[in-house]
């Protein structure tokens, strides 16, 4: 009887890996906490009689100015948490999704803070009464800590403007990053005026402690997960370069050796942010994915040198010390939901695909590897992929050919004309998790193909590296 | 976000906001209730045993003291200000202590609570004329309210001096300071039997 039940359950619905509901519960919880934190600061304002106190239009403008400031600051803190590399956030959303959310919150937060400044100036000016700019001057000179607050506003504008994608490409990444660090200063110098000018966080009030605890929590997370954890891990692992293998022109595999690497709990498909301690490279950090399954004493990455100093990576001397942040990312077997697996790579995107293939859970015949390139020759790690596919019973297909100009498909022009899609390439696609790694636009096109084949979001995995 | 997360987040946020609103409304109601009885001294004519004509020198108010330095008999008007503690029923003396026709002295008003901190003033009266109003304590919760009360206090002082009463108009934008200030002035005037 119990056998019958099991059989029926199995037929009713393909088994979803228990990791998935657990991960989604975590994601839901984090999202709800973020939304409620916004509601909570508004509620604190209301509880303090903020709305009941409104009796004139000037009061209303002032109140709105306070609320925009509270919500904007709360969003800034959420943004900083998203960038703090919290393990829970990485496990629930993946680093790239967290950073995408971080980016999308930037402008709203800035607009709210700007509204805060403008509305309060208008509200105060109406009461004085004074002109707008006279009031700015009055605030600047007569209210405590306002010069610092204005400085914070200026810095915030600078940070967001330099972060807008167009400007970002005009600067070196490191310059942009340096400017970006000013956002921490902007948030810090805004604290005094919140405590001294505002009446909401007056001394001894409960909400003052809540507000300060928020700041302390965010600051603690940043210090712990962006600095202490990476430094401690790097010191303990003592990674050094033990070999650099030429894979193709400009593409190398870097073999690293260290100790106690199991404690990192790194998984195939994850990436680290690496720093190679040579004279020309130490000031740059690069995200590179593992191209082989991690062991207790070795890691391997496969890298294509692009433009900047990373083009000197092929000449990396053996014995170079390596520090790192990570491992990060959800491009792993941990995110699996279904029994079959499809791994799709283009260009250097083959690196995490290669390590995933090595350790992902699947039975012979349940895995397909699709390698996409312009010509058969410009593929990397093909021999390794072929050997792994043979050993594990996976199918390897290399799809070579130029894309037809003006079309938006991830497949070559002739394949498009022959109406070939992901669904026709892979048998039983609906029972598979699809992992995609390659250039951004190409990745988007594969994702679109997978969606139109009817795959739910939970079965489509991809990672971006353009944050 | 999944639908479940959206609905839960909405629900939680709305509840949090509703609770905040409710607490705020209650706090505001109790705040008004609190300041109302403190304005009441107007109806309780100085029940203290204090003489109607204290010597001005003896009543120099302690700046820090929100009417708690009732220990010394010399500060009788101050003690009178804290009417709540004053033994109203214990004073069988009927009616007001028949104020002298022209009160003289410095009289401390009650400390009036506002959402931005307590407000208290003292009023100096010479031969039935209000000659000075001194702010002992003004709204001080946060730099903004310090700035507001610093701006409003001189206006209120001169208006009280020219009107010779606490019945002057509101200083716009400083509603709470005005209310507290004038309530305290009125309490002081009542004490003086003005």
Cβ <8 Å between B23 and A198:
no
Find the largest Cα–Cα distance for chain A. 84
- Which of B16, B141, B145 is facing A43, going by the closest CB pair? B16
Q: Which domains does chain A have, with CATH numbers?
A: 19-232 (1.20.120), 238-328 (2.40.30.10), 333-462 (3.40.50.80)
Tell me the count of A-B CB pairs closer than 8 A: 102
Helix axes A57-82, A173-189, angle to 10 degrees: 130
Whether the CB-CB separation of A369 and A394 falls below 8 Å is answered with: yes
Q: What DSSP assignment string belongs to A312-380? A: GGGGPPTT-EEEEEEEE-S-SGGG--SSEEEEEEEGGGHHHHHHHHHH----TTSEEEEEEESSTTS-S
Mind telling me how many Å the CA of A412 is from chain B's nearest CA?
34
CA dist A405 and B11 (Å) reads 50
Number of domains making up chain B: 1
* Cα–Cα dist A328/A454, whole Å: 29
Q: What is the pLDDT of residue B53?
A: 41
3-state helix, strand, coil in chain A (%, to 5): 55, 15, 30
**DSSP SS3 for B34:** helix
H or E stretch covering A54: none
Q: What residues in A contact B144, CB-CB < 8 Å? A: 124, 143, 197-199
Q: How far is it, in rounded angstroms, from Cα A158 to Cα A118? A: 18
Q: Please tell me the distance from the alpha carbon of residue B59 to that of residue B174, in angstroms, as a whole number.
A: 29
Contact B124, B186 (CB under 8 A): no
Cis peptide preceding A327, ω within 30 of 0: yes
Give the pLDDT confidence score for residue B51 in this predicted structure.
42
Question: Which chain B residues are Cβ-neighbours of A40 within 8 angstroms?
Answer: 16
Nearest CA distance, B62 vs chain A (angstrom)? 24
Tokens 């609190």 belong to residue: B34
Could you give the CA distance from residue A322 to residue A308 in angstroms, rounded to a whole number? 18
Q: Pairing mode, if any, of strands A432-437 and A340-346?
A: parallel
Task: Specify the residue for token string 């100009």.
Answer: A405
- How far apart CA A57 and CA A231 sit, in angstroms, is 54
Nearest CA in chain A to B11: A36
Domain CATH number, residue B171:
3.90.1010.20
Our CA-based measurement puts residue A68 at a distance from the nearest CA of chain B, in whole angstroms, of 15
How far, in Å, CA of B134 to CA of B125, rounded?
A: 12
Contact: A143, B147; criterion CB under 8 Å = yes
Give the Cβ contact number of residue B29 at 10 Å. Answer: 12
Max Cα–Cα distance, chain B, nearest Å:
79
Per CB-CB distance under 8 Å, the chain B contacts of A38 are 13
How are strands ordered across the β-sheet holding B105-108? Answer: B105-108, B120-126, B129-137
Could B12 and A39 be called an inter-chain contact, meaning their C-beta atoms sit closer than 8 Å?
yes
Task: Name the packing angle between helices A57-82 and A19-47 (round to 10°).
Answer: 150
The model's pTM? 0.76
Sign for the CA dihedral angle at A426, A428, A430, A435 comes to: negative
Contacts of B175 in chain A (CB under 8 A): 55
Place of tokens 């489509």: A460
**Terminus-to-terminus CA distance in chain A, angstroms?**
54
- List the single residue in B with minimal CA-CA distance to A121: B144
Answer yes or no: do B24 and A58 touch at CB < 8 A. no
Q: Which residues of chain A have pLDDT under 70?
A: 1-16, 128, 165-171, 306-310, 466-467
Contact A381, A247 (CB under 8 A): yes
Closest partner residue to A202 (CB to CB) among B4, B13, B141 is B141
> Residue B187 contacts by C-beta under 8 Å, 6 or more apart in sequence?
B38, B39, B41, B42, B81, B83, B109, B110, B112
Task: Give the closest of B21, B151, B175 to A55, CB-based.
Answer: B175
Given a contact cutoff of 8 angstroms between Cβ atoms, the answer to whether B121 and B152 are in contact is: no
Q: Do B28 and A53 touch (CB under 8 A)?
A: yes
A197–B16 C-beta distance less than 8 A: no
Do B24 and A46 count as a contact with CB atoms less than 8 A apart?
A: yes
DSSP for A109-156, written as a single string: HHHHHHHHHHHHHHHHHHHTT--HHHHHHHHHHHSTTHHHHHHHHHHH
Beta carbons of A143 and B143 less than 8 Å apart? yes
Contact A47 B142 (CB under 8 A): no
Q: How far apart are CA A314 and CA A10, in angstroms?
A: 51
* Pairwise CB contact (< 8 Å): A49 & B28: yes
Q: Which residues of A touch B116 (CB under 8 A)?
A: 199
Q: Which residues contact A447 (CB under 8 A, 6 or more apart)?
A: A436, A460, A462
Alpha-carbon separation of residue A323 from A233, A240, A313, A401 (angstroms):
8, 9, 15, 39
For strands A395-400 and A367-373, give the pairing.
parallel
Minimal C-alpha gap between B5 and chain A (Å): 5
Q: Provide the residue range defining the domain that includes B11.
A: 3-192
Mean pLDDT by 10 residues, chain B (194 residues): 88 93 80 50 40 41 38 39 41 45 84 79 90 86 74 88 86 76 90 85
């Amino acid at each position: 009887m119990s056998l019958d039940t099991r059989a029926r359950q199995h037929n009713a619905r393909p088994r979803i890996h228990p990791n998935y509901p657990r991960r989604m519960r975590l994601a839901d919880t984090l999202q709800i906490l973020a939304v409620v934190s916004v509601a909570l600061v508004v509620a604190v304002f209301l509880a303090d009689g903020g709305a009941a106190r409104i009796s004139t239009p000037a009061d209303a403008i002032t109140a709105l100015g306070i609320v925009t400031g509270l919500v904007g600051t709360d969003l800034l803190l959420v943004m900083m948490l998203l960038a703090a590399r919290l393990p829970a956030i990485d496990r629930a959303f993946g680093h790239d999704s967290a950073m995408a959310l971080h980016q999308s919150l930037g402008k709203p937060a800035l607009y709210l803070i700007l509204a805060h400044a403008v509305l309060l100036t208008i509200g105060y000016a109406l009461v004085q009464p004074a002109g707008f700019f006279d009031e700015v001057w009055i605030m600047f000179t007569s209210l405590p800590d306002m010069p610092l607050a204005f400085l914070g506003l200026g810095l915030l504008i600078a940070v967001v403007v330099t972060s807008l994608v167009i400007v970002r490409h005009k600067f070196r990444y490191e310059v942009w990053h340096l400017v970006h660090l000013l956002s921490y200063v902007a948030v810090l110098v805004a604290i005094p005026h919140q405590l001294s000018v505002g009446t909401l966080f007056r001394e001894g009030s409960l909400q003052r402690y809540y507000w300060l605890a928020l700041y302390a929590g965010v600051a603690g997370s940043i210090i712990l997960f962006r600095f202490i954890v990476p430094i401690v891990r790097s010191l303990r692992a003592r990674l050094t370069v033990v070999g650099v293998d030429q894979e193709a022109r400009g593409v190398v595999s870097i073999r690293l050796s260290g100790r106690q690497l199991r404690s990192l709990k790194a998984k195939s498909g994850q990436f680290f942010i690496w720093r190679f301690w040579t004279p020309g490279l130490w000031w740059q950090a690069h995200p590179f994915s593992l191209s082989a399954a991690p062991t207790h004493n070795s890691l391997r990455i496969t890298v294509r040198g692009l433009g900047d100093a990373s083009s000197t990576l092929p000449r990396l001397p053996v014995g170079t010390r390596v520090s790192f942040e990570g491992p990060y990312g959800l491009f792993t077997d941990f995110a699996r939901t279904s029994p079959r697996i499809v791994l799709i790579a283009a260009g250097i995107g083959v690196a995490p695909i290669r390590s995933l293939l090595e350790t992902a859970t699947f039975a012979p015949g349940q895995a397909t590897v699709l390698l996409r390139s312009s010509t058969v020759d410009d593929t990397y790690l093909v021999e390794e992929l072929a050997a792994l596919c043979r050993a594990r019973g996976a199918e390897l297909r290399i799809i070579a050919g130029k894309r037809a100009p003006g079309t938006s498909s991830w497949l070559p022009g002739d394949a498009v004309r022959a109406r070939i899609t992901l669904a026709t390439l892979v048998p039983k696609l609906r029972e598979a998790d699809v992992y995609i790694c390659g250039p951004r636009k190409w990745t988007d096109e594969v994702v679109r193909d997978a969606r139109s084949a009817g795959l739910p979001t939970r079965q489509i995995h991809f990672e971006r590296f353009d944050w | 976000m999944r639908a479940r997360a959206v609905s839960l987040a909405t629900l939680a946020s709305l509840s949090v906001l509703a609770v905040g609103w409710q607490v705020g409304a209650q706090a505001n109601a109790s705040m008004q209730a609190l300041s109302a009885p403190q304005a009441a001294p107007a109806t309780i004519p100085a029940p203290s045993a204090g003489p109607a004509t204290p010597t001005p020198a003896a009543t120099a108010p302690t700046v820090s003291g929100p009417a708690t330095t009732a220990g010394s008999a010399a500060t009788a008007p101050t003690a009178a200000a804290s009417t709540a503690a004053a033994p109203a029923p214990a004073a069988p003396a009927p009616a007001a202590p028949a104020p002298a026709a022209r009160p003289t002295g410095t009289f401390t008003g009650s400390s009036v609570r506002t959402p931005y901190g307590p407000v208290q003033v003292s009023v100096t009266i010479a031969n039935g004329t209000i000659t000075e109003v001194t702010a002992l304590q003004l709204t001080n919760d946060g730099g903004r309210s310090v700035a507001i009360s610093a701006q409003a206090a001189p206006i209120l002082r001169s208006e009280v001096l020219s009107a010779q009463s606490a019945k002057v108009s509101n200083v716009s934008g400083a509603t709470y300071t005005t209310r507290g200030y004038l309530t305290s002035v009125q309490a002081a005037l009542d004490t003086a039997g003005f």
